[in-house]
Amino acid sequence: MSRTSGTNAPETGRPAGSDPAAGSAGTALVRAPGPRLAEGIVTHAVPRPVDVALAVRQHEAYVAALRSAGWRVRAAAPADDQPDAVFVEDALVVCGDVAVVARSGDPRRRGELPGAERAARELGLRIERIKEPGTLDGGDVLQVGDTVYVGRSARTNEEGICQLAHLLGGRRVVPVDIRDCLHLKSAMTALPDGVLIGDPEKVDTSVLPCLRVPPEPSGAHVVVLGPDHVLMAASAPRTAAVLAADGLRVTSVDISEFEALDGCVTCLSVLVR
């Protein structure tokens, strides 16, 4: 991997599409925060007021970071009556040319699905669905090569995991028990080389091949933008420094208002490669 000198928040002085991996990037599906964002569901974060205007600016910077890394950005239609709709990752699981429309274990999230499904259909993806009694949130699904780790959580049940395994065909699906967090990807994600990074206190490490312990909780969350490029939250500067020292290029963005709603960098987009 190429060396990097540090982190950016977000990177500046680099024209859109100039990332070295831009040729291999795809489309990033996002959805702008709505006016009811502050009413979003909080399960694990310490409740505090959410500044919606600041969240809008932070989301714009997040989208700008995706574009600067060479990703085409497609916005799903607004869902202003759905406070959590900005966390578009929970609505869809995209694998190859298939988009699996999720079915959250929290019925309050299900109104977000139609707009996300329309956006996936407009991208030319084949639509499949998780059906009752299955439940699944996309935030519980972590794809690493041909393996798909799926968290057993309050939002995702065993039936939902079984349905997903069937819909993804030949992929190896590995259920992972989690604790004290909302989703599997609240506890762990994967670096570009497939190495897992996360908090071993929140996941069943017996089913995981490797798990790097981050210096801080927010360090568990990375979005892979390219072969040596990751997107991280500004709340994880120590982890960003460690990854940069390992040769990764790190782009950091402030998502404090979304973190107040149990969100992280992965929640705000669905990458279609």
- Is 44 one of the annotated active-site residues of the chain? no
pLDDT of residue 170: 84
pLDDT of residue 46: 93
- Who contacts 60 (Cβ-Cβ below 8 Å, separation ≥6)? none
Closest among 249, 261, 269, 258 to 8, alpha carbons compared: 249
Q: Where are the domains of the chain?
A: 20-272
Expressed in angstroms, the distance from the first to the final Cα of the chain is 21
Residue burial 122-140, b: 16+ Cβ < 10 Å; e: rest: ebebeebebeeebbbbbbb
**Amino acid found at 194:** G
The residue written with tokens 């950005």 in the block is 73
pLDDT of residue 132: 98
Architecture field, domain 20-272? 5-stranded Propeller (3.75)
Residue 94: strand pairing partners:
99
Residue 125: strand pairing partners:
none
This prediction has a pTM of 0.90
- Who contacts 221 (Cβ-Cβ below 8 Å, separation ≥6)? 185, 186, 189, 232, 233, 236, 264, 265, 266
On the 0-12 / 13-18 / 19+ scale of CB atoms within 10 A, 94 is buried
Q: Are strands 188-190 and 196-198 parallel, antiparallel or unpaired?
A: antiparallel
Q: Are 112 and 84 in contact (CB under 8 A)?
A: yes
Extract the residue ranges of the chain whose pLDDT is less than 50: 1-23
- Is 183 one of the annotated active-site residues of the chain? yes
CA distances from 230 to 4, 169, 171 (A): 12, 28, 24
Q: Which of 59, 95, 181, 183 is catalytic?
A: 183
